[in-house]
Amino acid sequence: MSKSVILTGLRANNDLHLGNYLGALLPLVDLAKNKAGEYQINLFVPDLHSFTTPIDHSKLQQQIIDNVKIFVAAGLPLDSANVFVYRQSYIPAHSELTIILNSFTGMGEMNRMTQFKDKASGLGDDRTSVGLFDYPVLMASDVLLYSATYVPVGDDQTQHLEFTRDIAERMNSKFGELFVIPKAAKTQHEFFGKDQGLRIRDLQDPTKKMSKSDDSGKGVIFLNDSPEVARKKIMGAETDSFGDVQYDYATRPGISNLLDLVNLFGIKREEFIGQPQYGPLKTAVADSVCDFLEAFQRKLSQTDKAEIIKKLEASEKEMRLQANKTLLKVQKAVGLRP
Please write the tens of the pLDDT for every residue from 46-74.
999 988 888 889 999 999 998 899 889 99
pLDDT tens digits, one per residue of 156-181? 789 999 999 999 999 999 999 999 99
Backbone angles phi, psi at 312, to 5 degrees: -60, -50
Of 69, 119, 282, 311, which one is the catalytic site residue? 119
pLDDT at 133 exceeding the cut of 60: yes
Q: Is 174 a catalytic residue?
A: no
User: Containing H/E element for 86?
Assistant: strand 83-87
Model confidence band, residue 145 (pLDDT cutoffs 50, 70, 90): very high
CATH of 5-193+305-334, one of 3.40.1190.20, 3.40.50.300, 3.20.20.120, 3.40.50.620: 3.40.50.620
pLDDT at 45 exceeding the cut of 90: yes
CATH 3.40.50.620 in the chain: give the residue spans.
5-193+305-334
CATH 1.10.240.10 in the chain: give the residue spans.
227-300
CATH code of the region 227-300: 1.10.240.10
CB 331 within 8 A of CB 268: no
| Residue 6, helix vs strand vs coil | strand
pLDDT at 281 exceeding the cut of 90: yes
pLDDT of residue 152: 85
Model confidence band, residue 118 (pLDDT cutoffs 50, 70, 90): confident
Task: Please give the torsion angle defined by the CA atoms of residues 90, 42, 44 and 68, in that order, rounded to the nearest 10 degrees.
Answer: -110
Q: Nearest Cα to 14, choosing from 221, 213, 199?
A: 213
Model confidence band, residue 14 (pLDDT cutoffs 50, 70, 90): low
Q: Is 299 a catalytic residue?
A: no
- Please tell me which residue, 124 or 294, carries the higher pLDDT value: 294
Burial track 299-333 (b if 16+ CB lie within 10 A, e otherwise)? ebeebeeeebeebbeebbeebbebbbebbeebbeb
pLDDT of residue 55: 87
- The alpha helices in the chain, defined as continuous H runs, are 18-20, 26-35, 60-73, 93-102, 107-111, 114-121, 130-133, 135-144, 158-175, 185-192, 227-235, 253-264, 279-301, 305-334
pLDDT of residue 27: 81
Backbone angles phi, psi at 248, to 5 degrees: -160, 100
Model confidence band, residue 194 (pLDDT cutoffs 50, 70, 90): low
- Please tell me which residue, 52 or 308, carries the higher pLDDT value: 308
pLDDT of residue 202: 94
The CA distance from 324 to 321, in Å, is 5
Question: CB-based burial of residue 51 (10 Å sphere; 0-12 exposed, 13-18 middle, 19+ buried)?
Answer: middle
Of 69, 209, 282, 311, which one is the catalytic site residue? 209
Model confidence band, residue 121 (pLDDT cutoffs 50, 70, 90): confident
Of 33, 35, 183, 212, which one is the catalytic site residue? 212
Query: Among 148-152, 197-201, 266-270, 320-324, where is mean pLDDT lowest?
Result: 197-201
pLDDT of residue 1: 54
Q: Is 119 a catalytic residue?
A: yes
